[in-house]
Structure 1
């Protein structure tokens, strides 16, 4: 995929409101980092009260995944999670627009040798990540140090798509954006010794998924991690990032590659993946993206745990 290119079509009046909003966000994100964290927490409180559907999705997920917690503990975790989601908006803007030197000061990276070792062997890497709220800034910070290609899904709004892609590409111009459905391009990248960011922790439906436990709940889990590693002859290297307390920045950890993976059994591999997901999420549950309907696809005969989405009523035309 080619790099993002600005065109005159992006100046169409239908994009003006978006450009205005992005401009205001750019101005706000110039503030000192500790202040942005505080503003993010305030935004998170507003999101908690006004995003009722997402709040209830997250609440159900926490009930399913942490039954050992009492209701008060889960509610506190839920509120902290929304605070983290609020901060994530400013972290996204920081990743897109902060000067690289300013951004790099926030990075604390461990385990870079695992990627260097694979590169020295000419072996591709599936950089297995998760949907933490710090996803955007974590990828940006790592992208300043090593070349990581990313799975990409085009945004419906062309102007936002341009801003998003440009913001992501600026950290390493050698990095490529690979369409999520373009398996052939991904295989070529892996076989040529490149590293590709990939997250297997969301519900993508029954197709190419198996049901295996996640926090004790049967979850539709993609088998693509095994497929990519096998066909791309690549290592699977787990990667996590964490927002540090007291405005100290971000801890990025590249973990040792999975051994004997894939193992020849997609279901057994999926169990291993979910066990790792459990460990990574349990270490920082307040920073995980619980607002996703992770358990929406159920085994036959099992009801969905989420309430039906509220649909806006259309006004009747006279």
Structure 2
């Protein structure tokens, strides 16, 4: 993206950030329905993912879920400018209830670090803002291709003091140090990692490449893992923050055992609000060598 595009994008986000929640969500649902009606690539990927992950549903049920998923993804995209541009206090007021807060209290009792896993479910930007408002926190991120937008993103995400660190050696060392000091780190755990050093583990019954970073951080820091998401309530009423325990074995030295537990933890919360998961992402594109690429059936991985 060129500088001229960045110069346009940031003011556009600031303008969208002036919308009320209901207005932003209405526009988001409309964009999602356009994506559905136009038979977009997003719709195609969503339908493929749901066919793989929910074989027990009828075709009609999966179609309804796909339409709903596109609407929710549209809402998420339109909500992000609000979370980035609204005053922090106004954003936090969107969280109407918290489920599992006792797990946070228990996790922080003994002074251990806390590793928060926030999959692409509901509004993950609001989730990150909530925890950075409560704790000294660092979050792993992938830098965008454009420096000017990266500066803007770091500023708005870090306005409560949260530190964004890159996924390189220096960034990972920072996360480990923070966790060892009893603080909090956040990761989006459901991205398809690139490169070596990862493992293949089942996600909704299909083996996919999965990050081993979570188990490595846990073993090196002794931190407590929890999985969390912000569920969108109906009719613009706000969000419900949900905090859950992770599956046993997530810190196991065996990479397959650990990544299997990680994916099972993610799958468990996704099943609680499946329409709000970002099914438009090609999560299944990295499979064991020789397996069919579900998005390009004429290709093998």
TM-score normalised to the size of structure 1?
A: 0.84
- Structure 1 CA distance for aligned equivalents of residues 248 and 122 of structure 2: 28
Q: Residue 282 of structure 1: CA displacement?
A: 1.1
Inter-partner Cα distance in structure 2 for 1:273 and 1:181:
21
Check conservation: 2:249, 2:261, Cα contact below 8 A. Answer: no
SS, match of residue 225 in structure 2: strand
Conservation of the 8 A alpha-carbon contact between 2:72 and 2:275: yes
Instruction: Indicate the SS of the match to 2:55.
Output: coil
Name which of 55, 74, 77 aligns with 1:89. 77
- Per mean C-alpha deviation after superposition, the further-off stretch among 279-288 and 208-217 is 208-217
1:197 positional shift: 0.6
Structure 1 stretches of 4+ with a deviation exceeding 4 A read 257-261
| Higher strand residue share | 2
Quick check: 1:224 aligned with 2:210?
no
Aligned pairs, number: 294
Which of the numbers 162, 176, 187 marks the counterpart of 2:163? 176
Query: Are 1:35 and 2:35 matched, yes or no?
Result: no
Residue 251 of structure 2 corresponds to: 262
Normalising by structure 2, what TM-score?
Answer: 0.88
SS at match of 1:144: helix
Q: CA offsets per residue over residues 208-230 of structure 1, 9 Å max, x none?
A: 22222221112222222211100
Distance of 1:15 and 1:261 partners within structure 2: 42
Q: Provide the C-alpha distance between the structure 2 equivalents of 1:39 and 1:63, rounded to a whole number of angstroms.
A: 27
Q: What secondary structure sits across from 2:120 in the alignment?
A: coil
Given that residues 138 and 184 in structure 2 are in contact (C-alpha distance below 8 angstroms), is that contact kept between their aligned partners in structure 1? yes
* C-alpha distance in 1 between matches for 2:178 and 2:121: 25
List aligned pairs for 1:1-318, cutoff 5 A: 15-49=3-37, 52-107=40-95, 108-170=97-159, 172-173=160-161, 175-182=162-169, 183-205=172-194, 207-256=196-245, 261-307=250-296
Moved more, 287-296 or 255-264: 255-264
Structure 1 residue 51: deviation in Å?
Answer: 7.5
| In 1: Cα distance, 2:168 partner to 2:156 partner | 22
| Kept after mapping to 2: 8 A contact 1:152/1:178 | yes
**Cα shift at 1:117:** 4.0
Q: CA RMSD in A?
A: 2.3
Contact between 1:95 and 1:137, CA under 8 Å: does it hold in 2?
yes
Is 1:152–1:177's contact at 8 Å kept on the other side of the alignment?
A: yes
The residue matched to 2:235 in structure 1 has which SS? coil
Cα offset for 1:106?
A: 0.7
Larger of the two Rg values belongs to structure: 1
Gaps of 5+ in 1: 1-13, 310-318
CA distance in structure 2 between the aligned counterparts of 1:25 and 1:148, rounded to whole angstroms: 25
Change (3 A) 1:226 1:300: same
Query: Who is 1:5 aligned against?
Result: none
- Return the offset for 1:147: 3.1
